[in-house]
Structure 1
Amino acid sequence: MTRPRRIVARVHAMPPEHNAGAEHMLVSMLRPLVERGHDVQVWLSRHAQARERYEYHGIQVVPLEAGLNFTSVARGADVLIAHLENVPSTASLARGFGRPLVVVCHNTHRPSFRDMTAGGTALAVYNSQWMEAEAELFFAEYPESVRPASSLVVRPPVFAGEYATKPGRAVTLINCNPEKGGNVLAALAQRMPDQQFLAVRGAYGEQVLPNLPNVEIVDHVRGEDMKDRVYARTRVLLMPSFYESWGRVAVEAMASGIPVLAHPTPGLCESLGEAGVFAHRDDIDGWEAILRELLTPPEYRLASKRARARSAELDPTADLAAWCDAIEEAAGA
């Protein structure tokens, strides 16, 4: 058995205060490390409501205001993990203290890859195969000495049993900012006055919240409450996102056999696979026609069956085992 290691992550926010895909991906990846007996700490880099240290699913969380000695903690870590804007500073500490650095990437924006080109990244973790391919194209222009030493694909882990429920009757959009498709929801709700819609307020971005009698607006929902407050009321999930590197909420919805109507981003095409129903986000006529057809009993039964099958294919057990093994290998190097 691998001896317990001290694993320290530097991130900008944590659930339940911030319910976004990147944060839930990290929590889902850190939990199995706790279960293997490792000491896992997360240090936050942005202001949040919490002021004191707390525990979340066995992870020790240190809010910005409660921890001013991250440098000394980094010195004593066996592995440092970082993502987004925390990569440059954490990478600098990792190089200075000779600690292995793991970078978790959840988008293909240039800074996500560029920040790893200073060298010293032991492991780059991507949330989809297409993102790993994009990273390989990016790093082809750089010398091997500054590229990540290795890479791993860990699809955002969703255990179906934590989300499975009996679907409801509403057509739902989670996070109603324009980039996620708030305007598409508004247009569909106006065109389909007899259909119930659910607009879930997101944790970030300006929200498009239609003032229509057939649209119920739900305030921001914590990840652990999504099953009862959202999916149990959802018949079809809309994902007309301009950009998605994967699409975690789509996978959560499919655990209940909820069909997902989505814009064909590379991430959504990969995550939804054969279960996805796709239309371009600017084609409102197409979205309306597909949605009306999808809500008919015969089409719904077929789409729901495909969603459950895809959910089973995405069981995260193997991905998480490979992730834990990789972290333990980096810690022992």
Structure 2
Amino acid sequence: MPPQHNAGAEHMLVSMLRPLVERGHDVQVWLSRYGRATEPYDYRGIQVVPLESRLDFPTAVRRADVLVSHLECVPSTTALARGYGKPVVVLCHNTHRPTFRDMASGGTALAVYNSQWMEREAELFFAEYPKAVRPASSLVVRPPVFADEYATRPGKAITLINCNEAKGGKVFAALARRMPDQQFLAVKGAYGEQILPDLPNVEVVEHVDGADMRETVYGRTKVLLMPSSYESWGRAAVEALASGIPVVAHPTPGLCESLGEAGVFVDRSDVDGYEAVLRKLLTPAEHRLASKRARARSAELDPTADLAAWCGAVEALA
């Protein structure tokens, strides 16, 4: 969990839990891995309980009205939920087989998909495995981005957030070498081996708390790169749109859905293509047009309706 661990899945969870806190609910997040925190702490009104605190999670489950789980925690949380007769909500952040398999073990009251294409992939999974237990209900909630928390005046750098190979670290390094006249910003990610070129035009930024992204990253970024081999949605891209920052991305289904007509898509294997697009986008006229499309798409992705549906669905289970 933030502020120590900042990735798309965790910040999607935070942005979905915050409205529940605002509606008066007691919201806790129990961590399943060891980290630096040793005592419970508050993050945006959410009580975070580190594994190091050695508090009793089964007792918390017994007292809860609704359990929400994601990623590798789903099997154990679902088992406890069944034991205590509690409804469980599963947040699906990717289309990898374990996501659907774990959810289909039985007992899922609500499945939340982060995109329409993921919902379609889930339907294909259940059609292929008819013995899998479908969730009682499902809902699409696009990773909520509160645009006013990210919007700023863009900077001058070409930026990559999380510089591991899968996110495009090699593409970023190649472009920085090809474009010594341009400033590049490499933001260390929450996971994966980081590819950080030692070049005079590359500045490396340490891992950033999501609450500081506006000032530390987007306020210094002119164009965001997302040459990812896989993105189920691409939250960082949507955060950048809030400031009118153009995003140049590999056309994964998730990024195509999230960016829509605001995205500039180039295959991650085509470094020549990335360089050509960047040089074009860095001209004032092209950047203004791309920036206008980015802001328009940000407005289209206002999370108000999704979050209202989400809160209503959770409260109906309590």
TM-score by length of 2: 0.98
* Equivalence for 1:321: 308
Of residues 86, 98, 106, the one that matches 2:93 is: 106
d(CA) in 1 for partners of 2:75 and 2:195? 34
Higher deviation after alignment, 308-317 or 91-100: 91-100
AA matched with 1:55: D
* Equivalence for 1:5: none
d(CA) in 1 for partners of 2:106 and 2:3? 33
CA contact (8 A) 2:126 2:132 kept: no
* Equivalence for 1:27: 14
CA RMSD of aligned residues (A): 1.0
* Equivalence for 1:133: 120
Deviations 1:239-291 (A, max 9, x none): 00010000001001010000000000000000000000000000011111111
d(CA) in 1 for partners of 2:298 and 2:105? 38
Of residues 28, 35, 56, the one that matches 1:69 is: 56
AA matched with 1:282: S
The Cα of 1:54 is off from its aligned counterpart by 1.1
Deviations 1:140-198 (A, max 9, x none): 23447711011101111111100000001100001100100011111111111101111
User: 1:163-312 to 2 correspondence within 5 Å?
Assistant: 163-312=150-299
d(CA) in 1 for partners of 2:312 and 2:158? 40
User: Which of structure 1's runs of 4+ aligned residues deviate more than 6 A?
Assistant: none
d(CA) in 1 for partners of 2:155 and 2:55? 46
* Identity over aligned pairs, percent: 78
CA contact (8 A) 1:263 1:278 kept: yes
d(CA) in 2 for partners of 1:80 and 1:109? 22
3-state SS of 2:311 partner? helix
d(CA) in 1 for partners of 2:153 and 2:175? 24
CA contact (8 A) 2:105 2:132 kept: no
TM-score by length of 1: 0.94
* Equivalence for 2:137: 150
Q: Gapped runs of 5+ residues in structure 2? A: none
d(CA) in 2 for partners of 1:40 and 1:57? 11
d(CA) in 1 for partners of 2:312 and 2:96? 28
Of residues 30, 38, 56, the one that matches 1:43 is: 30
Q: Does 1:159 align with 2:146?
A: yes
AA matched with 1:17: Q
User: 1:74-89 to 2 correspondence within 5 Å?
Assistant: 74-89=61-76
CA contact (8 A) 1:79 1:327 kept: yes
AA matched with 2:216: R
3-state SS of 1:29 partner? helix
The Cα of 1:73 is off from its aligned counterpart by 1.2
d(CA) in 1 for partners of 2:37 and 2:163? 26
3-state SS of 1:210 partner? coil
AA matched with 1:106: H
The Cα of 1:110 is off from its aligned counterpart by 0.4
CA contact (8 A) 1:43 1:67 kept: no
d(CA) in 2 for partners of 1:180 and 1:214? 20
Structure 1 residues 282 and 67 mapped into 2: Cα distance closer, same or farther (>3 Å)? same
